């Protein structure tokens, strides 16, 4: 019986043991998602498409904390929209943790003088991953989970998943379905869908006429359009 208990204890230890290689891969993947620049496809007004380098996820997140950084699709006229409160919360959490972690590792980045970008702070923090992999795999596994949680939180702000399909639909007020917006990255005007979801205010909005609607209004409209489409298809088949 004692031998059986000892066997179960070994199984439990093996089940809880962290694979340092897998933990390192997961951590590096999360850091790359936070700090590596991305590539986007830009469609110009004449229909020509090209690929462009876009800032990394953390840089986009920091930009969203600045007044005017909130995604509105506006053409740059009128008052600047407020900063995203969701972005402020995520940036504050990451920044606080970086201050603590980097100080613990002997990095004095917060003295008077130029500040390191948040993405650079995370890269510097990640440079200690090899030590964690060799000396403390449990710490590395926890750190990987933390970094992946930041990726998820940042993407929820920068790339919010649309609850309703608006791309391609026409604004019921102004009848526009696309707008031209200025791209600082491209230094040119690019075309984007007129309708978009404002996640901070829980509204659907039109960038062409600046009309806004509660999201439940668009949900009811979507159901109505779906019913109309079904009816038309049924009539076509008769």
Q: Residue 8 falls within a domain, yes or no?
A: no
In a domain, 5, yes or no: no
| pLDDT for 219 | 67
Rounded distance between C-alpha atoms, residue 125 and residue 35, angstroms: 12
5: left (phi over 0), alpha (psi -120 to 50) or beta: alpha
In this prediction, residue 221 carries a pLDDT of: 63
- Number of domains, the chain: 2
Q: Of 160, 188, 208, which marks where a domain is finished?
A: 160
- Is the domain of 42 the same as that of 78? yes
Q: What is the pLDDT of residue 113?
A: 56
CA separation, residue 3 to residues 8, 17, 116, 167 (Å): 9, 21, 57, 64
pLDDT at 108: 77
Sites in the chain below the pLDDT cut of 70: 1-16, 45, 67-85, 109-114, 160-168, 185-186, 199-200, 218-238
Are 35 and 143 found together in one domain? Answer: yes
Buried b (16+ CB within 10 A) or exposed e, 108-142: eeeeeeeeeebbebbbbbbebbeebbeeebebbbe
What are the tokens at 141?
Answer: 């596994």
Q: Which of 134, 160, 186 is the last residue of a domain?
A: 160
Q: Are residue 118 and residue 221 in the same domain, yes or no?
A: no
Buried b (16+ CB within 10 A) or exposed e, 43-79: eeeeeeeeeeeeebbbbbbbbbbeeebbbbbbeeeee
Shared domain check, 56 and 144? yes
Q: What does the alpha-carbon distance between residue 195 and residue 138 come to, in Å, rounded to a whole number? A: 46
State the pairing for strand pair 212-214/195-198: unpaired
Say yes or no: 156 and 170 in one domain: no
Residue-level pLDDT at 97: 94
Q: What is the pLDDT of residue 178?
A: 87
Supply the pLDDT for residue 73.
Answer: 39
What residues make up the domain containing 121? 15-160
**Of 160, 189, 207, which marks where a domain is finished?**
160
């Amino acid at each position: 019986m004692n031998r059986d208990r000892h066997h179960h204890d070994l199984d439990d230890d093996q089940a809880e043991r962290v694979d340092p290689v897998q933990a390192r891969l997961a951590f590096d993947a999360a850091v790359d998602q936070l700090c590596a620049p991305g590539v986007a496809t830009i469609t110009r007004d004449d229909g020509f498409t090209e690929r462009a380098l876009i800032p990394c996820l953390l840089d986009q997140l920091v930009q969203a904390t600045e007044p005017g950084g909130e995604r509105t699709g506006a053409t740059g006229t009128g008052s600047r929209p407020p900063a995203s409160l969701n972005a402020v919360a995520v940036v504050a959490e990451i920044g606080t943790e970086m201050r603590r972690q980097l100080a613990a590792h002997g990095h004095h980045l917060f003295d008077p003088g130029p500040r390191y970008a948040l993405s650079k702070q995370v890269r510097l923090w990640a440079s200690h991953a090899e030590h964690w992999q060799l000396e403390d795999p449990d710490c590395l596994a926890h750190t990987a989970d933390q970094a992946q949680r930041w990726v998820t939180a940042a993407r929820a702000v920068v790339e919010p998943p649309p609850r309703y399909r608006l791309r391609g639909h026409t604004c019921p007020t102004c009848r526009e379905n696309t707008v031209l917006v200025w791209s600082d990255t491209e230094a040119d005007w690019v075309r984007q869908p007129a309708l978009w979801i404002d996640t901070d205010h829980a509204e659907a909005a039109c960038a062409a006429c600046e009309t806004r609607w509660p999201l439940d209004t668009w949900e009811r409209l979507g159901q109505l359009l779906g019913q109309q489409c079904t009816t038309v298809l049924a009539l076509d088949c008769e």
